[in-house]
């Protein structure tokens, strides 16, 4: 009987992607450019939050956005209304972005050196968490209507993120969502996770979010400078 060979294709794919992501981060450091990978479930308010972010940082930090969708440009057109440079990425049915897709998207930007590039990932709490995009930092949005039990159901997403934005806090009076319980569950997975309650609709918490971004960008640029000198 012929020998049965079992190939772990997923492990191989992830290994190749991790190497590509590390190389992409080095390139971003060399250009002093900060890339934020923004993930969430569909309908969490990613695009509305990005509009608020662009307004908060306008005239201060040059910003560009890469919008990823299976097949749509609705969000990209919305961001263009804020005067932000936008590149639309169509995944052709794939439920995630990887480092190579991200690198291709970066080549489509016309601006020479945006200080902040936001990658709006596919709306999905599973696949995007598995693939390193080469981003400087990872952020996740969890909206109040989704429930405070999501850290229990999608642990990897909360583990890989640097900051959790709990959005739609203006609806807390309608939905049974416990911010403290959600924060506790998330930090059990990721003790260093920053948690910021926001309302993209009303603007509550956006100043704190913008401050986090400013600090993260400064830290990233300092890391790059240290790497160049060392």
pLDDT, tens digit (0-9, with 9 covering 90-100), for 75-96: 667 778 888 888 888 777 667 7
Distances (CA, A) of 138 to 121, 155, 168: 10, 14, 20
DSSP 165-226: EEE-GGGTTTS---HHHHHHHHHHH-TT-EEEE--TTT-TTHHHHHHHHHHHHHHHHHHHHH
pLDDT, tens digit (0-9, with 9 covering 90-100), for 55-68: 999 999 999 998 88
pLDDT, tens digit (0-9, with 9 covering 90-100), for 181-217: 999 999 999 999 999 999 999 999 999 999 999 999 9
Phi first, then psi, for residue 105 (nearest 5°) are -65, -40
Helix, coil or strand: residue 26: helix
The model's pTM:
0.90
**Strands of 194-197's sheet, edge to edge?**
85-90, 63-69, 116-120, 34-40, 137-143, 163-167, 194-197
Residue 220 confidence class, pLDDT cut points 50, 70, 90: very high
CATH entry 3.40.50.300 includes domain 25-220: yes
Residue 9 confidence class, pLDDT cut points 50, 70, 90: very low
Report the C-alpha gap between 67 and 5 in whole angstroms.
40
pLDDT at site 6 = 44
Looking at residue 140, what DSSP letter applies?
A: E
pLDDT, tens digit (0-9, with 9 covering 90-100), for 107-162: 888 766 678 999 999 888 998 999 999 999 999 999 999 999 999 999 999 999 99
Phi first, then psi, for residue 165 (nearest 5°) are -100, 115
87 or 24, greater pLDDT? 24
How do the domains of the chain map onto residue ranges?
25-220
221 or 197, greater pLDDT? 197
- Residue 96: how many CB atoms within 10 A of its CB? 18
Beta bridge partners, 143, equal 167
């Amino acid at each position: 009987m012929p020998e049965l060979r079992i190939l772990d294709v997923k492990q191989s794919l992830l290994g190749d992607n991790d190497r590509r992501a590390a190389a992409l981060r080095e390139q971003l450091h060399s250009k002093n450019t900060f890339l934020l990978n923004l993930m969430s479930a569909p309908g969490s308010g990613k695009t509305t939050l990005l509009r608020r972010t662009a307004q908060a940082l306008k005239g201060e930090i040059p910003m560009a956005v890469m919008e990823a969708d299976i097949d749509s440009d609705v969000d990209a057109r919305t961001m263009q209304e804020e005067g932000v440079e936008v590149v639309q990425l169509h995944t052709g049915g794939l439920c995630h972005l990887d480092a190579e897709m991200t690198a291709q998207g970066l080549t489509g930007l016309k601006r020479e050196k945006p200080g902040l590039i936001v990658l709006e990932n596919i709306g999905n709490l599973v696949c995007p968490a598995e693939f390193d995009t080469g981003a400087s930092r990872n952020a996740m949005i969890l909206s109040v209507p989704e429930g405070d039990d999501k850290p229990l159901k999608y642990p990897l997403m909360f583990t890989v993120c640097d900051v959790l934005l709990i959005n739609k806090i203006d609806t807390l009076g309608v939905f049974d969502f416990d911010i403290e319980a959600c924060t506790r569950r998330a930090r059990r997975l990721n003790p260093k996770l920053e948690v910021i309650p926001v309302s993209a609709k009303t603007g509550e918490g956006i100043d704190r979010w913008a401050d986090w971004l400013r600090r993260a960008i400064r830290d990233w640029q300092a890391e790059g400078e240290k790497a160049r000198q060392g």
